[in-house]
Amino acid sequence: MPIVDVTYDPEIAAARLQAIAEVLPHAVSLAVECPEEPYDGLLQPGDVDLRFRPRGVYDSGGLDIVVEVRSKWFASRAESRQERCDQLCDAVAQVAGTNAVGVYLSLPAAAWAQGE
């Protein structure tokens, strides 16, 4: 299950944020799809966890939107991580209406458990 943090410029319109929130679960799932965790196109609750927060007055950075994705490390993911990151960045930029988008894909050694 990827955990996705989105930091955005407070000037970004709510409608743009809503569009990003609608696109991200599928786009992230495609970006981290691998043989060990295949994506069948049918997202279930808990498959992708999105968290949005506006950039604060003391935060630095000049991008309108920064998306950080954390998903479990698998060799098949790691060997193509830059292509995966680029693909996700393009998808977010398209729906956000800006190219001032950054995507950070982190693949740590991790485990996940979830209740029903």
Residue 102 contacts residue 55 (beta carbons within 8 Å): no
Q: What is the mean pLDDT of residues 14-37?
A: 95
Residue 93 CB-density burial (10 A; 0-12 exposed, 13-18 middle, 19+ buried): middle
Query: Which of these, 93, 104, 103, 105, lies nearest to 12 by C-alpha position?
Result: 93
Residue 31 contacts residue 88 (beta carbons within 8 Å): yes
Q: What is the mean pLDDT of the chain?
A: 92
Q: What pLDDT is stored for residue 1 in this prediction?
A: 77
Phi-psi region of 97 (alpha: psi -120 to 50; beta: other; left: phi over 0): left
